[in-house]
Structure 1
Amino acid sequence: MKALLIVDVQNDFCPGGALPAPDGDQVVPVINRIMPLFNLVITSRDWHPANSVHFEKWPSHCVAKSRGADYHPDLDRSQFDLELLKGTRDSDDGYSAFEATNIHLGAFLRQKNVDQLFVTGLTTEYCVKNTVLDALDYGFSTFVVTDAVKGVNASPGDHEKALKEMEEAGAHLILSSEIPDDTCN
C-alpha cells in the first residue's frame, strides 16, 4: 500500500509566518491535487509549547493552538486520515514525523501494510529531510515529491543540498506528475 505524508504545511512555514519557506504556500495546490491518488493520507504538525527549548535555535513558531500552528487555509483537510503532532515537549525539537508524540508512525504504517511512502511539505532541509531519512531507516520505499516541498534556504542552496542528501540515502525524487496511476493499489 502507498501512503501520502504531508509534513508541516502550517501558517508559520508559509509566507507571512514566523519561519517562512519562500513560496511555501505553492506546495498547497500540488498536494491538494495528488491527495485523491492515495487511500491513506497522513499529516504532521509542529506543535510546540510556548516555552520550548527549540526556540533557543529558532524564532518562536507553530506554538500549540496558535494561528501559526494551523494548517495553511487552502490545504484540503477533508482527506486527512491521521494527524501527527511533533515537538510537543519542552525539550523536543520534533524535526521528523517519526518523532510524533501521539502515535508511533513506523508501527502505524506497518499495521496498515504501507510499503511506499510519498513525502510532501515544509521545509525540505529540516522536517521533510529528517522524516525521509527516518522513513528509509524504517525500511520504507520513500519518494520525495519535489514539486510539493519547499525549503527555508537559510543558506543559498540548502533546499537542493537536502534533496541530494535524501537521494543519496536512497529516497526517490519524483514530480507529482510522475506518481503512478496505480497509487491506490
Structure 2
Amino acid sequence: DWHPPNHCSFHEQGGPWPIHCVAGSTGALPPPSFPIPEMATIIHKATLPDKEAYSAFQDTPLCEYLQAAGIGRLFIGGLATDYCILNTVRDARVLGYHVCLLTDAIQAVNVAWEDGRKAEEAMIRLGAIPTRLEYCV
C-alpha cells in the first residue's frame, strides 16, 4: 500500500483499518533487510484517497508492465494474506498468470479466526502453487 494520509480505509475516514502504509512513511517502505535491486520497478497501490484497492492490479499499471516485460509467472508474498494477497492472486489468475504463493512470506490479518488459512486454501483452489522462499533461490 502507498496510501495518502486521508485514505478512505482509515478509521478516521470511516474505513475499517487503522492508519497504515502512508506514502513515504517507514510503514510503507520495505524493511531494511529486504534489498531492492537497482533495476526494480516499484508499483504503488491504493494511492487514491477515496478508493480502496486490495489487489496490486487494481488502478495500477502492473499488468501492462508485466506484459511489456514478457513476464508470465509471479511469485507473490506480503501482507495481508486474507485481503491484498488473496485479491492480487485472484486477479493474477484471472489475467492468466502462473502464480507461486510464497507461503512462508505471507501474513494474515485474521479479523475472523482462520481467515488466513481460508484465504490460502482459496488461492490454491484458484490455481496458485504453494511454495517456500528457499525453493525460489
TM-score (norm 1): 0.66
8 Å CA contact retained: 1:125, 1:158: yes
Asked if residue 52 in structure 1 is aligned to residue 11 in structure 2, the reply is no
Number of residue-to-residue matches in the alignment = 133
Q: Which residue of 2 aligns with 1:151?
A: 108
Q: Which residue of 1 aligns with 2:34?
A: 75
Asked if residue 166 in structure 1 is aligned to residue 123 in structure 2, the reply is yes
**How many Å separate the matches in 1 of 2:120 and 2:17?**
22
TM-aligned CA deviation for residue 79 of structure 1: 5.4
8 Å CA contact retained: 1:117, 1:141: yes
Task: Among all aligned residue pairs of Structure 1 and Structure 2, give the percentage whose two residues are the same amino acid.
Answer: 37
**How many Å separate the matches in 1 of 2:101 and 2:38?**
20
8 Å CA contact retained: 1:124, 1:151: yes
8 Å CA contact retained: 1:84, 1:100: no
Gaps in structure 2 of 5+ consecutive residues:
none
Q: Which residue of 2 aligns with 1:131?
A: 88
Gaps in structure 1 of 5+ consecutive residues:
1-45
More relative contact order in 1 or in 2 (CA 8 Å, sep 6+)? 1
Runs of 4+ with >3 A deviation = none
Offset from partner CA, 1:29-53 (integer Å, 9 cap, x none): xxxxxxxxxxxxxxxxx11111111
The CA RMSD measured in Å over matched residues stands at 1.7
Q: Which has the higher helix share?
A: 1
Offset from partner CA, 1:87-122 (integer Å, 9 cap, x none): 111112121111254xx1112111111111111111
